[in-house]
Amino acid sequence: MMEYRQLGRSALQVSELCLGTMNFGPRTPASESFEILNEAVGAGINFIDTANQYGGELGVGATEKILGRWFAEDKSRRDQVVLATKVHEPMSGRVNDRGLSARHIQMACDASLKRLGVDHIDLYQMHHIDRSAPIEEIWQAMERLVTQGKITYVGSSNFPGWAIARANEKANARHQLGLVSEQSLFNLIERRVELEVMPACREYGLGLIPWSPLAGGLLANSDEKQEAKGVGRRNSVDMIKAMTQRSEQLRQYRVLCQKLGESPSAIALSWLLHQPCVSATIVGPANVDQLKSVLHVPQIRLDVSTLKQLDEIFPPCGEAPEAYAW
């Protein structure tokens, strides 16, 4: 049974598992992407995340187009889901077809709406910080989109803590809601968001949405025989190097997961749902079986002892400034 949480301080309810769609198109064909979407919605997942740049070798926008075709099959689907997409990344070689200028935000939103075949986006996220764009310009553009009914909420992604604080202080001064979510790289291995991003999210009421919850596959279900041969999804040079460097950590982790009777993927996802500020965690299945294998994660409860053991295997960063103050 799926569980739901508020997205940050907003009243919006989202499923604890958010379906990430980056694989749709470049790795997973449209037909199988539709199967994953149908399985997800049938299981109670109501939160779908994409980005205007996703598409890989098929070209930017390809993933949003796949979602648009899925929505077109059944118009009722749009109202069943909280739809999130992103803006910032280059969409062409043109100098202004990127970033967070007011012009690009408006044009990119209109383009996403067209590809998705919808009249509004529930959560419009800034994919990265744009140091050249004044925050006043960004909020002017976002407020216009809200007024036009094209977006409902604004979120950030890959923002440092100071940028979250600045954005919401400026929004408060404009009597606007501001950011309601931050999508960050966060998993048992990569925990630097604990330093300043999570404290900022807590202070300003943002829901944290971790991406790469399995650390690019390091924390995923694995076949040790395949790993030894460098075969399978984790056979890149960088991944083999990371597995070698963290072999003892990963061995201890596998042993703990075996004792808990759960897969490494399930425990990694469940751990994130036990962390402060997390509203939902991204899951990015490449096929239906991968999705089905983690649908039970919201039901997993990790006790204090287990959480402590996980911290011992993968040490936390602590919060700033306490983490490095004297």
CB 19 within 8 A of CB 36: yes
Are the C-beta atoms of 151 and 113 separated by less than 8 Å? no
The residue type found at 268 is A
Q: Which residues contact 47 (CB under 8 A, 6 or more apart)?
A: 14, 15, 17, 18, 19, 81, 82, 84, 280
**Partners of 282 in the β-ladder:** 18
The overall longest dimension of the chain from CA atoms, in Å, is 60
Cα–Cα distances in angstroms (integers) from residue 228 to residues 224, 225, 231, 246, 249, in the given order: 6, 5, 8, 14, 16
74-105 as b/e: b if 16+ CB within 10 A? eeebbeebbbbbbbbbebeeeeebbbbbbebb
Instruction: Give the active site residue among 54, 124, 153, 204.
Output: 54
Q: Count the neighbouring beta carbons within 10 Å of the beta carbon of residue 312.
A: 10
**Annotation says 124 is catalytic:** no
Helices (H), the chain: 30-42, 62-73, 77-80, 102-116, 135-147, 161-173, 197-204, 224-229, 237-245, 247-260, 264-273, 288-292, 304-313
C-alpha angle 187/191/197, rounded to 5°? 110
Q: Which residues are catalytic?
A: 54
